Amino acid sequence: MIALEDGTVLTGRSFTGSGEAAGEIVFNTSMSGYQEILTDPSYTGQLVTMTYPLIGNYGVNDEDMESASVHPRAFIMREYQRFPSNYRATATLAEFLQKYGILGIEGVDTRMLTRLIRNTGAMKAIISTEDLDEASLVRRAREWPGLVGRDMVVRVTCAKPYGWTAAGPVEGAGYPEADGKRFKVVAYDFGIKFNQLRILTELGCAVQVVPATTSADEVLALEPDGIFLSNGPGDPAGVEGVVDNVRQLLGKKPIFGICLGHQILGLAFGGSTYKLKFGHRGGNQPVKDLTTGKVEITSQNHGFCVDPDSLPAEVEVTHINLNDGSLEGMRHTKYPVFSVQYHPEHAPGPHDAQYLFDRFIELMAENN
Ligand SMILES: NC(=O)CC[C@H](N)C(=O)O
């Protein structure tokens, strides 16, 4: 049974066994890419509904991981396909969810649920195979603390620095395989997706990943050519300490921020963030690059947004969402700093926006 804070109760079937999960219920409109969505740490504390009606048909594999774990607390769909057919598949979606202790729920009227979330907004919700008392479940959904003002980054950031190579993560501080690489990049891990690291490495960067709480001085001591601010979960305004660190780095090195990293930059510039009604999650969000006039189709996953009116005069809006006009990208006009709200690393989604990593490379080249 699924209960929402507005009193709505829906039924479905668990295909992963019994359990219970509370969180913020949101929807994603991607037609494929469920493994990348499940392993994106930005979904920490959320219950994810897929609008695409059939999920699981290509199983899961060892290569499409965007982090080492699964982050939404439950995965909700219309129909689960229990017999995957794909040469890359190494397990079924049910086996994968069970391995990480995540509830998989099918048989849900996801069209009704999505319309409800669109009309009412993202809501607190609870799913249970045990407590089937509607009134109790609705009350417990309302009791869940919500995401606003809470630091979810502490739950997913790395405990220790690590490096990234073409073969994946390597333990320890320092830049791995730096010989012959053009740039050294320090990447703040707020809940980083591996494809950001894969792309930076492919573009010739030696990458050192650091925990979210790493101070500005510690980052500068690594003598990077550029600093990268990753995506991550929850409310940017609830993340402890990070905004001050980032503010101290402004003007010192080129900085590129994605999603939560972009929101943290907005706060470091002195701006503010707000919660969108139901957020943007999917692979077909149209964004206009105001610097070139081009429209790109983007991969997105966020529930908070930087308020453009709160930004100081030296920060320029570079990208806007064509569905609702919200801020999708910005750059500082004095410092080599820019960021986007969406996901140029895709995974899953269209590759239209990958050019932004080239812009970061150019920015580091200009500043060297
Ligand atoms: N993908 C992200 O980095 C999401 C940022 C933030 N947690 C939000 O929901 O807006």
Q: Is 302 in the pocket of ligand 1 (CB under 6 A)?
A: yes
Q: What distance in Å separates the CA atoms of residue 5 and residue 3, rounded to the nearest whole number?
A: 7
Instruction: Label residue 262 exposed, middle or buried (CB < 10 Å: 0-12, 13-18, 19+).
Output: buried
Exactly one of 71, 259, 305, 346 is catalytic; name it: 259
Q: Is 259 in the pocket of ligand 1 (CB under 6 A)?
A: yes
For ligand 1, atom 4, the nearest C-alpha belongs to 302
Q: Is 261 in the pocket of ligand 1 (CB under 6 A)?
A: no
Q: What distance in Å separates the CA atoms of residue 134 and residue 106, rounded to the nearest whole number?
A: 19
Give the nearest ligand 1 atom to 190 CA: 3
3-state secondary structure of 104: strand
| pLDDT tens digit at each of 368 positions of the chain | 999 999 999 999 999 999 999 999 999 999 999 999 999 999 999 999 999 999 999 999 999 999 999 999 999 999 999 999 999 999 999 999 999 999 999 999 999 999 999 999 999 999 999 999 999 999 999 999 999 999 999 999 999 999 999 999 999 989 998 888 999 999 999 999 999 999 999 999 999 999 999 999 999 999 999 999 999 999 999 998 999 999 999 999 999 999 999 999 999 999 999 999 999 999 999 999 999 999 999 999 999 999 999 999 999 999 999 999 999 999 999 999 999 999 999 999 999 999 999 999 999 999 98
Give the nearest ligand 1 atom to 152 CA: 7
> Hey, what are 64's tokens?
């499409």
Q: Is 344 in the pocket of ligand 1 (CB under 6 A)?
A: no
Domains, the chain, ranges and CATH?
2-143 (3.50.30.20), 153-367 (3.40.50.880)
Q: Residue 20 Cα, ligand 1 centroid: separation in angstroms?
A: 24
- Helices 260-268 and 242-249: crossing angle in degrees, nearest 10, is 70
CA dist 24 → 123, 147, 217, 234, 305 (Å): 5, 7, 36, 10, 17
223 is a catalytic site residue: no
345 is a catalytic site residue: yes
